[in-house]
Chains A and B, each alone.
Chain A
Amino acid sequence: DAGVTQSPTHLIKTRGQQVTLRCSPKSGHDTVSWYQQALGQGPQFIFQYYEEEERQRGNFPDRFSGHQFPNYSSELNVNALLLGDSALYLCASSLASGLAQPQHFGDGTRLSIL
Chain B
Amino acid sequence: AQSVSQHNHHVILSEAASLELGCNYSYGGTVNLFWYVQYPGQHLQLLLKYFSGDPLVKGIKGFEAEFIKSKFSFNLRKPSVQWSDTAEYFCAVNLPSSASKIIFGSGTRLSIRP
A42, B105: Cβ atoms under 8 Å? yes
Q: Contacts of A105 on B, CB cut-off 8 Å?
A: 36, 43-45
In the bound assembly, the distance between CA atoms of A99 and B98 in angstroms comes to 10
Shortest distance in angstroms between B30's beta carbon and chain A's nearest beta carbon?
A: 11
A100, B44: Cβ atoms under 8 Å? no
A31, B105: Cβ atoms under 8 Å? no
Total A-B residue pairs with C-beta atoms closer than 8 Å? Answer: 61
Contact with A along B44-55 (1 / 0, CB 8 A): 111001010000
A99, B99: Cβ atoms under 8 Å? yes
For chain B, residues 22 to 62, give those with C-beta under 8 angstroms from any C-beta of chain A. 32, 34, 36, 42-46, 49, 51
B107, A100: Cβ atoms under 8 Å? no
Q: Contacts of A43 on B, CB cut-off 8 Å?
A: 44, 90, 102, 104
Q: Which residue of B lies closest to A3 (CB)?
A: B43
Q: Which residue of A lies closest to B96 (CB)?
A: A100
Interface range, A side:
20 to 34
Shortest distance in angstroms between A75's beta carbon and chain B's nearest beta carbon?
A: 18
Q: In the A-B complex, list the 7 residue pairs whose CB atoms are closest, starting with the nearest.
A: A42-B104, A105-B44, A48-B100, A100-B99, A100-B32, A102-B46, A56-B100
**Interface, chain A (partner B; CB < 8 A):** 3-4, 31, 33, 35, 40-45, 48, 50, 55-56, 58, 90, 92, 98-108
**Interface, chain B (partner A; CB < 8 A):** 4, 6, 32, 34, 36, 42-46, 49, 51, 90, 92, 94, 96, 98-107
